[in-house]
């Protein structure tokens, strides 16, 4: 790939042993053997019924910056021979990549990415590929469950403070991909065009409480004056009932929204809705936040909640902060290879995959089959090939899906699941996967 | 703080509502009130007995890059008035920060960071401060438990592939801080000077298995030729007993190490040790890896393991991927403030903290007390103030602890814990915290 000089190299986001393996493989000539590496997850996180592929767009961009300049070579020269250093200096990925579209659902064993090229050029990308896909897919997979639990109500991602500062924008992007509507993170707005959103914080109310006691009204008045009556006021700093009354007193019944960030959100939402309606603020929206996860969101389905704000559980993958994908060598010079250690057996050989669906669109099975073999008989079911070209001659294919298009793909994917696939409870993958050998 | 232009601005690693609050506070004049914000964790992750403060050094560096240039202002101008945009353009943090030293242990309610300045200059830093401290402290806190479970045996951090690509180097740093010996991540070597390390991967062995079947010996021979006899050979690609025999056949009894990455590691380590000793390779080290966490590490304590390689559980905080710290306004113009919502009550007022110890050095209590009040009577116990100056006049204090010094502080902290504080089982914080009001 062509290296763009305007942003930092990604070449050191790599494990040392990848480069020492390249050194040994350059020395014995095996570095140039044609290889296929595949990315897959042996299993979904405990009890999950599907995963969402995410990060592909970020990965392809990061690969354009994977090059070794003087700064990078200074780090690796102490433990590499000069032949390897020279090879790294000239390194450009020149191979091919096929993969599941970003936003596609996946299941255990789905060959999400297939990377072909020389051993050396494929192996040096291992850590970068897995880091991006494991992180983003973990977040998108958790986010999709939250989105389906919210049943169409808008959701704002606001978890940046509970994530690494440079991972947070990627989390916002993955959440948006999975169906969230907006993010609080400004870098995600800049880098990825995710719509921004925000309400207010307890600190702003407390700022207006000086020596003469609480002046919640003063804080609300100031916020409405600065941000307009469409703003969302945070009403739970002291007493919620009084906070709501003050909010409508100050802003009038045209107030955009109130946010509740603590307490029993279901009970409070009902009380606040009743109070707002009684005050004539029938269009004022109720935003709830505070340690929401997919289960809490689902539990609020019957309550008069208008918007969910989700933080910690989103950016931590709701119990599964990494997707557990691996990057395995499956073919060398056209011959399938696989390790045979206990419990970690892999399936050798380059693979393709297709997904079978009823005529209604509901998916029924995923079939993984040898790339070199014939396309399996689908018994008359509708079927769709899952791997599409992503990179050719080291360059990303033109016209790959935009983030918005990938977001649509997730939405269509969720609709295509059998009913039990959308259950939040622990269970088996939503559809079985057949491995044809 | 002075803005360094040579690296990317961190100003957009921020939640939108912080800037809209600044806008409202600039409009009503409250932006300039003198405030104190404090960082603390309401509780430790479930059952944990202590936490490790980490990220302070990274935070102070990131703050030097927190400035709004044209690129950043373009993102925020659409939702801010011109006064706020002008204020952001000129923004430099000019306040003071005190905090626990990086590497210090902490407990629920410990005032880990105390940030003082105008409301506006303190509130815009909220997300950056929490993102850095929450991530790094989560990793360091998990890593410290692994280090104490390893009881002095060397540990290599190798979790990059299961972490966001830009979070991974910070995880390596936090692990090193907590007592790990090395990392596989090259960017952590470059950015933070963490020692690098690496072994080999299954792909390298599989690369040497062509159409004529497995040639494990060829892979081993190539690796030894390129990297020397001190290298570590991965022996579990096919059959471990055969792999060990082949390794010593190829490398001789001077082989540096063998790695086992699958199976029942305790049983295998014993078998392999016996086999190696029988072959005269008595100094060849056994490196184990493969889904190790603090419990698995502890379970291997009686086995002949020489080095642990830890990945996924380290970078995901072993079940607690965020430290759950919050950033709360506690004082405005010298007057304590606190919200009173249910379950999330805060303690108002700027605080200090000290830790009491027996003459043996074992700690017995943490006391959190009003910064404005007298120092509580310690009843004759040894005591140590925990908050030290970090930033004055917007500039980091000279001579703050290096990463190595902070690493020593963690080691001393672990030794200072009462015995039950080092238990891996779920329990209460290792020492009680008294809040003096």
Dump the DSSP string for B77-129.
GGGS-HHHHHHHHT----SEEEEEPTT-EE-TT---EEEEEEHHHHHTTHHHH
Mean pLDDT calculated for residue range B251-280: 97
CA distance linking residue B423 with residue B66, whole number of Å: 40
Residue A414, φ and ψ in degrees, nearest 5: -65, -40
Quick check: A79 pLDDT over 80?
yes
What pLDDT, on a 0 to 100 scale, did the predictor assign at position B5?
44
User: B239 burial class (0-12, 13-18, 19+ CB within 10 angstroms)?
Assistant: middle
CA dist., res. B391 & res. B351, Å (int): 17
For residue B272, give both structure tokens.
């392999």
Cβ–Cβ below 8 Å for B160 and A186: no
Q: E-strand spans in A49-94?
A: 51-52
Least confident of B44-53, B202-211, B423-432: B202-211
Contact A15 B329 (CB under 8 A): no
**Nearest CB to A322 within list B23, B237, B312:** B312
Q: Assess contact for B1 and B92: CB atoms under 8 A.
A: yes
User: Which residues contact residue B293 at a Cβ distance below 8 angstroms, ignoring those fewer than 6 apart?
Assistant: B146, B310, B313, B318
How many Cβ contacts (< 8 angstroms) between chains A and B? 345
Give the confidence band of B257 by pLDDT, cuts at 50, 70, 90.
Answer: very high
How many CB atoms sit inside 10 A of residue B182's CB? 23
Answer yes or no: is pLDDT of A264 > 80.
yes
Q: Residue B291: is its pLDDT beyond 80?
A: yes
Confidence of residue B370 (pLDDT cuts 50, 70, 90): very high
What are φ and ψ of residue A356, in 5° steps? -100, 145
Chain A residues 41-80 within an 8 A CB cutoff of chain B: 62, 71-72, 74-76, 79
| Per-residue pLDDT band at A3 (split at 50, 70, 90) | very low
Cα dist from A297 to A108, A190, A400, B257, whole Å: 27, 28, 33, 51
The dihedral built from the CA positions of residue B93, B99, B105 and B110, taken in this order, carries a sign that is negative
Report residue B344's pLDDT band, with 50, 70 and 90 as the boundaries: low
Q: How do residues A362-413 score in pLDDT, each as one tens digit? A: 999 999 999 998 999 988 889 999 999 999 999 999 999 999 999 999 999 9
- A 242-301 → B contacts, CB under 8 A: 261-263
Q: Is the pLDDT of residue A284 over 50?
A: yes
Going by their DSSP bridges, the two strands A257-260 and A232-234 should be labelled as parallel
Asked if residue B122 has pLDDT above 90, the reply is yes
Q: Is B203 within 8 Å of A21 when comparing Cβ atoms?
A: yes
**Which residue of chain B comes nearest to A29, CA vs CA?**
B222
Residue B426 CB contacts under 8 Å (≥ 6 apart), including other chains: B46, B47, B48
Q: Is residue A339 very low, low, confident or very high in pLDDT (cuts 50, 70, 90)? A: confident
A90 CB near a chain B CB, below 8 Å?
no
Residue B4 pLDDT greater than 60, yes or no: no
Residues of B in contact with A322 (CB under 8 A): 162-163, 312, 315-316
| Nearest Cα residue to B102 out of B143, B142, B149, B136 | B136
Binning pLDDT at 50, 70 and 90, where does residue A216 land? very high
Q: Which residue is associated with the tokens 């050094």? A: B57
From first CA to last CA, the distance across chain B in angstroms is 33
Q: Are A344 and B223 inside 8 Å of each other by CB?
A: no
Determine contact, residues B202/B240, Cβ cutoff 8 Å.
no
B contacts of A209 (beta carbons < 8 Å):
332, 337
Supply the pLDDT for residue B343.
Answer: 55
pLDDT at B1 over 70: no
Residue A343 — very low, low, confident or very high, per pLDDT cuts 50/70/90? Answer: low
Are the beta carbons of A263 and B342 separated by less than 8 Å? yes
Which DSSP symbol is given to A361? S
Evaluate if residue A214 carries a pLDDT over 80: no
Structural domains in chain A, sorted by start:
16-139+320-435 (3.20.140.10), 150-319 (3.20.20.70)
Q: How far apart, in Å, are the Cα atoms of B241 and each of B188, B270, B271, B275, B307?
A: 35, 12, 8, 8, 19
Nearest to A352 by CA among A337, A368, A364, A365: A368
Token pair in block for residue B163:
């972490």
Interatomic CA distance for residues A63 and A131, integer angstroms: 12
pLDDT at A4: 43
Q: What's the pLDDT score for residue A22?
A: 97
- pLDDT at position A380 is 83
Contact call for B238 and A340, based on CB within 8 A: yes
Contact by Cβ (8 Å): B134, B324: yes
User: For B322-332, how does the pLDDT look when each residue is reduced to its tens digit (9 = 90+)?
Assistant: 999 999 999 99
**Cα separations (Å) of B270 from A49, B233, B301, B306, B310?**
39, 17, 12, 12, 20
> What value does the mean pLDDT of chain A take?
94
- pLDDT for residue B273 is more than 90: yes
A2-11, A34-43, A184-193, A333-342: least confidently modelled range = A2-11
A370 bridge partner residues = A351
Of A278-287, B259-268, B374-383, minimum mean pLDDT range: B374-383
- Give start and end residues of each alpha helix (H) in A279-393: 294-299, 312-315
CB contact under 8 A, A332 and B206: yes
Q: How many other CB atoms are there within 10 angstroms of residue B394's CB atom?
A: 17
Smallest Cβ–Cβ distance between A165 and the set B24, B128, B312 belongs to B128
Q: Strand, helix or coil at A307?
A: strand
Cα(B270)–Cα(B254) distance, integer angstroms: 19
Q: Is B337 in Cβ contact with A186 (below 8 Å)?
A: no
Task: Give the largest CA-CA distance in chain B.
Answer: 81
Distance between CA atoms of residues A232 and A228, nearest Å = 9
Q: What angle do CA A399, A404, A408 make, to 5 degrees?
A: 105
Residue A291 class from Cβ within 10 Å (0-12 exposed, 13-18 middle, 19+ buried)? middle
Distances (CA, A) of B160 to A10, A17, B168, B256: 13, 12, 5, 24
């Amino acid at each position: 790939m062509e290296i763009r000089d305007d942003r930092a190299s990604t070449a050191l986001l790599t494990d040392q042993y990848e480069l020492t393996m390249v050194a040994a493989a350059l020395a014995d000539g095996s570095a140039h053997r044609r290889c296929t590496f595949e990315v897959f997850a042996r299993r979904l996180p405990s009890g999950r019924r599907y995963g969402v592929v995410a990060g592909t767009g970020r990965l392809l961009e990061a690969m354009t910056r994977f090059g070794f300049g003087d700064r990078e070579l200074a780090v690796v020269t102490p433990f590499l021979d000069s032949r390897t250093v020279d090879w790294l200096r000239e390194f450009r990925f020149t191979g091919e990549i096929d993969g599941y579209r970003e936003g596609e659902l996946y299941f255990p064993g789905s060959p999400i990415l297939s990377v072909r090229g020389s051993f050396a050029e494929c192996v040096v990308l291992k850590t970068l590929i897995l880091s991006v896909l494991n992180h983003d897919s973990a977040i998108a997979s958790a986010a999709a469950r939250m989105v389906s639990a919210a049943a169409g109500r808008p959701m704002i991602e606001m978890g940046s403070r509970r994530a690494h500062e440079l991972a947070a924008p990627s989390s916002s992007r993955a959440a948006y991909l999975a169906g969230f509507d907006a993010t609080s993170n400004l870098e995600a707005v800049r880098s990825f065009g995710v719509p921004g959103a925000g309400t207010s914080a307890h600190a702003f109310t407390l700022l207006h409480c000086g020596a003469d006691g609480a002046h919640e009204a003063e804080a609300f008045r100031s916020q409405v004056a600065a941000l307009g009556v469409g703003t969302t006021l945070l009403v739970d700093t002291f007493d919620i009932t009084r906070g709501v009354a003050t909010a409508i007193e100050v802003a009038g019944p045209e107030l955009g929204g109130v946010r509740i960030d603590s307490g029993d959100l279901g009970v409070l939402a009902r009380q606040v809705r009743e109070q707002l309606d009684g005050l004539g603020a029938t269009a004022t929206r109720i935003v709830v936040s505070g340690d929401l996860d997919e289960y809490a969101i689902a539990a609020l389905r019957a309550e008069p909640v208008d918007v969910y704000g989700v933080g910690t559980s989103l950016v931590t993958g709701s119990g599964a902060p990494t997707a557990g994908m691996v990057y395995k060598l499956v073919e060398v010079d056209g011959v399938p290879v696989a390790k045979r250690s206990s419990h970690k057996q892999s399936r050798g050989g380059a693979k393709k995959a297709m997904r079978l669906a009823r005529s209604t669109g509901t998916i029924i099975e995923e079939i993984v089959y040898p790339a070199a073999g014939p396309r399996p008989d689908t018994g008359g079911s509708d079927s769709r090939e899952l791997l599409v070209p992503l990179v050719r001659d080291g360059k990303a294919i033109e016209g790959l899906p935009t983030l918005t298009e990938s977001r649509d793909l997730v939405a269509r994917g969720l609709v295509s699941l059998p009913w039990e696939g959308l259950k939040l409870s622990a269970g088996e993958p939503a559809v079985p996967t057949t491995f044809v050998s």
